[in-house]
């Protein structure tokens, strides 16, 4: 049966709590191992509808939560085309009347025509999507040229997998992170995730937010159309993906957790867009000597695991 209705299994788990000053200290310590200049502070959320953030609602506060929908087993070794999600059900899954959803997933191939990266950024209401500012990044099937474009109003679907930070979209206190000049080998998100895991090894914690790569360039990938040949290893996935180098400023929508909590959670996922026609799945910056990051994050209270695949991915895939 095609999975297109609200009739999906939704598992929930509350994240542990941690003192905000300890979180800030942990992030500062971890990021300082990887970047020359680091600042982490607890601030009032700026108006994130403004450029370069351009989110569909003003803030990322008010019942912040992560939503992990579907998963990699829906994409490899071969795509499950009947796994297709109508995101206007989000308010029902979360029991949240209205809010903001931002994150990373697979675009609606029935509309796009081919597989694509979804850079999700939309305001939702009860059983509806009120304002969509989402992008997709795809490859032109003939020229393989990357194309990044917005989704039209009313196109509310995604395919196979999606990782979101949701909230009521309100202003409030957030964690501001600024980093310059990378000296270590970790990307910005993995570095924060490692820092949290090291400081809180026994806690289950999740964060999400938006950051901008203000200077430098970044390595991204864009999924081509679904592979007709089974993808059975990381090597086969890597040779299938199309890698590109994109220029700043890049606005990145990101979630990460300290463990998969035996719920097959994806531990981190970040997609980015720009006003200059570049976007995709973030891997790392390629200009460590000049890169500048500025981001705003919240600690999620709960994770919602929607339609967890029954089979596990047997190798690590970074889609």
Question: Taking a C-beta distance cutoff of 8 angstroms, is the pair 202, 263 a contact?
Answer: no
Tell me how crowded residue 121 is: count the other CB atoms within 10 A of its CB: 27
Give yes or no for residue 217 binding Zn ion (CB under 5 A). Answer: no
The minimum distance between CB 115 and Zn ion, in angstroms, equals: 11
Give yes or no for residue 281 binding Zn ion (CB under 5 A). Answer: yes
β-strands 128-132, 135-139: how paired? Answer: unpaired
Write the CA distances from 317 to 242, 283, 302, integer angstroms. Answer: 14, 12, 24
Spacing of C-alpha 292 from chain mean position = 20
Residues 6+ apart with CB under 8 A from 216: 248, 285, 286, 287, 288, 290, 291, 292
**Residue 26 φ then ψ, to 5°:** -65, -45
The interface mask with Zn ion, positions 157-196, x = CB under 5 A, is: ----------------------------------------
Chain position whose Cβ is nearest to Zn ion: 281
Give yes or no for residue 319 binding Zn ion (CB under 5 A). Answer: yes
The minimum distance between CB 127 and Zn ion, in angstroms, equals: 27
Instruction: Closer to Zn ion by CB, 166 or 189: give it.
Output: 189
Give yes or no for residue 267 binding Zn ion (CB under 5 A). Answer: no
Query: What's the start-to-end Cα distance of the chain, in Å?
Result: 25
The minimum distance between CB 65 and Zn ion, in angstroms, equals: 20
Question: Taking a C-beta distance cutoff of 8 angstroms, is the pair 179, 188 a contact?
Answer: yes
> Of 44-52, 67-75, 91-99, 277-285, which part binds Zn ion (CB under 5 A)?
277-285
**Residue 145 φ then ψ, to 5°:** -75, 135
Give yes or no for residue 135 binding Zn ion (CB under 5 A). Answer: no
Token pair in block for residue 167? 């909230």
Question: Taking a C-beta distance cutoff of 8 angstroms, is the pair 299, 21 a contact?
Answer: no
Q: Choose which of 31, 100, 104, 162 interacts with Zn ion (CB under 5 A).
A: 104
> CA nearest 177: which of 192, 196, 160?
192
The minimum distance between CB 242 and Zn ion, in angstroms, equals: 13
> Of 235-243, 278-286, 295-303, 306-314, which part binds Zn ion (CB under 5 A)?
278-286
The minimum distance between CB 281 and Zn ion, in angstroms, equals: 4
The minimum distance between CB 106 and Zn ion, in angstroms, equals: 8
> Of 80-88, 107-115, 231-239, 274-282, which part binds Zn ion (CB under 5 A)?
274-282
Please give the residue ranges that form the binding site for Zn ion (CB under 5 A): 104, 281, 319
């Amino acid at each position: 049966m095609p999975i297109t209705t609200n009739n999906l299994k939704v598992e929930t788990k509350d994240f542990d709590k941690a003192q905000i000053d300890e979180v800030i200290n942990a992030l500062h310590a971890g990021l300082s191992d990887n970047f020359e200049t680091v600042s982490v502070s607890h601030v009032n959320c700026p108006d994130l509808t403004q450029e370069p953030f351009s989110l569909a609602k003003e803030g990322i506060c008010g019942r912040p939560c992560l939503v992990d929908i579907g998963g990699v087993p829906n994409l490899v070794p071969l795509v499950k085309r009947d796994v297709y999600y109508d995101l206007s059900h989000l308010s029902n899954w979360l029991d949240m009347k209205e809010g903001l959803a931002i994150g990373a997933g697979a675009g609606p191939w029935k509309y796009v025509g081919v597989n694509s990266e979804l850079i999700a950024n939309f305001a939702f209401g009860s059983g509806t999507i009120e304002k969509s500012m989402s992008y997709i990044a795809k490859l032109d099937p003939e020229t393989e040229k990357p194309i990044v474009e917005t989704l039209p109003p009313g196109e509310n679907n995604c395919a196979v997998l999606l990782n979101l930070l949701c909230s009521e979209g309100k202003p409030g206190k957030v964690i501001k992170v600024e980093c310059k000049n990378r000296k270590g080998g970790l990307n910005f998100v993995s570095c924060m995730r490692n820092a949290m895991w090291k400081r809180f090894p026994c806690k289950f914690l999740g964060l999400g937010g938006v950051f901008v790569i203000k200077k430098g360039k970044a390595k991204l990938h864009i999924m081509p159309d679904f592979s007709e040949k089974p993808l059975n290893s990381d090597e086969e996935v890597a040779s299938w993906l199309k890698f590109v180098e994109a220029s700043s400023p890049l606005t990145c929508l990101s979630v990460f957790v300290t463990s998969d909590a035996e719920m097959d959670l994806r531990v981190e996922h970040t997609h980015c867009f720009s006003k200059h026609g570049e976007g995709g799945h973030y891997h790392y910056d390629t200009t460590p000597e000049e890169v500048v990051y500025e981001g705003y994050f919240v600690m999620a209270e709960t994770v919602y695991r929607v339609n967890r695949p029954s089979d596990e991915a047997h190798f690590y895939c970074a889609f």
